[in-house]
Amino acid sequence: MFSRLREDIRAYRDRDPAARSALEIYFLYPGFRAVRMHRKANWCFRHKLFFLARLISQRAVRKTGIEIHPGATIGRRLVIDHGTGVVIGETAEIGDDVLIYQGVTLGGTGKDKGKRHPTIGNNVMISSGAKVLGPFKVGDNSRIAAGAVVLDEVPPDCTVVGVPARVVKRSGIRVTPMDQVHIPDPVSQELCRLEQRIRELEGRLKNEDI
């Protein structure tokens, strides 16, 4: 238990330049506290103490603003940076050395039973406000950009951006001309296409009148 605590604290110190001491991380970091409480809730959940598991998880929500279902599976050295608004569903699985920022949702897309939340591979970064929805896998070493909505499987070593998210880099090589800052608005693009089509049809009507 103590070795797990030490490695969790070390993970925060390695990934958060604002971390000043192990004491500060242990007592004052909501992400660290939420994961510690989740481990207790998950133990109760696996031993069919469902009410107690829920009680612990809801207490964690009130204290940290982070909601992790007791049934979720979390690997080693998970870092939840800031963390407010993070939601992790019951059948979500998170690998080792994952970094999650505030506002992230690992959720489902319906009321189906069984596996309905994503599986996150090792060494994955999920940026602020990203939503990963569905029972698919995000491959090892992948990056999900801020605000992305991921609805399909992400291969390993990829960067995905947009709504819905699509791969823009694979193994460090850009696969589309789009970057993470200047992301085209698909609604605006569709409106422009429709406007152009209307102009073409109006032109045809005028020609027919003549």
**Which pLDDT belongs to residue 178?**
44
54-67 pLDDT, tens digit each: 999 999 999 999 99
- For 127-132, the CB contacts below 8 A with 24+ separation are 127/101, 128/101, 128/102, 128/103, 128/104, 129/101, 129/102, 129/103, 129/104, 130/101, 130/103, 130/104, 130/105, 131/104, 131/105, 131/107, 132/104, 132/105, 132/106, 132/107
* Residue 180 in this model has a pLDDT that exceeds 50: no
Which domains are assigned to the chain? 2-178 (2.160.10.10)
**Which pLDDT belongs to residue 173?**
67
83-128 pLDDT, tens digit each: 899 999 999 999 999 999 999 999 998 777 889 999 999 999 999 9
- Determine if the pTM surpasses 0.85: no
* Residue 135 in this model has a pLDDT that exceeds 80: yes
pLDDT band at 209 (very low <50, low <70, confident <90, very high): low
